[in-house]
Amino acid sequence: MIRMRQSKLNNLMNQQKLLHRLRELRGNNCAGKTGYTIIISIFLLLGCSFALSKERLMPEPLKDSKNMQGTFTLILYGANHSNDLETIAILDREGDGYQFEPYAPEFVYRIKKNLPANEALSEAKKFVGWHHSFRNVIISKITDEKGSLLGYEVRPLYYPLDFGFSDILDVNYFKSGNKIIARIKLIESVEKIIFGSDSRGVFE
């Protein structure tokens, strides 16, 4: 049982390494046959498209979360193994015609629907606070170009002595049709701490 569990954890970490490498290669605009293979692998692996529009949504930190109201779909991203710092929670406001979608395979995140604001926020805080280096959370609202509320982001902050930074995530939101694509990854310096200075070994 212990060996099987460890094997599953190792496989999951290897999959995350692969995801990081694929993202890096895609970001470098690989060309030719190798680039084509990488891009196809990305779509096969992730099972979704990442058609970026020109509209990027910028979260705005909340000064007070007590007035949060409505019903939300809770997206719990990460926390899949003991080293999974790529963890965040998103509260997707229901009934607004938009749907948040992480740019990742479905096994990386969980979804809970029809939660009242207080329950969704409480569960989000508990979810992102699992790591021993966790210090606090920062809650931000995500709005469209007209200022209409689309949802909230609950991001963990860590003790800077452990990773060099308190906020170690690089998260971007892009509006594409009726979807809000969330691209979530670690900042490069923390990624090197977790996966080593060269994560390319997973491709060799």
SS (H, E, C) the chain: CHHHHHHHHHHHHHHHHHHHHHHHHHHCCCCHHHHHHHHHHHHHHHCCCCCCCCCEECCEECCCCCCCCCEEEEEEECCCCCCCCCCEEEEEECCCCCEEEECCCHHHEEEEEEEEHHHHHHHHHHHHCCCCCEEEEEEEEEECCCCCEEEEEEEEEECHHHHCCCCCEEEEEEEECCEEEEEEEECHHHHHHHHCCCHHHHHC
What pLDDT shows up at residue 40? 36
**Cα(140)–Cα(60) distance, rounded to whole angstroms?**
5
With a cut of 60, say whether residue 138 has pLDDT above it.
Answer: yes
Q: Which residue has the higher pLDDT, 117 or 8?
A: 117
What pLDDT shows up at residue 54? 56
* Each residue's pLDDT tens digit, 21-70: 545 544 444 444 444 334 434 544 544 444 444 589 999 999 888 889 99
Give the closest residue to 87 by CA, choosing from 48, 23, 130. Answer: 130
With a cut of 60, say whether residue 10 has pLDDT above it.
Answer: no
Average pLDDT, whole number, for the chain?
Answer: 80
Residue extents of the structural domains in the chain: 2-49, 56-191
Q: Which residue has the higher pLDDT, 43 or 173?
A: 173
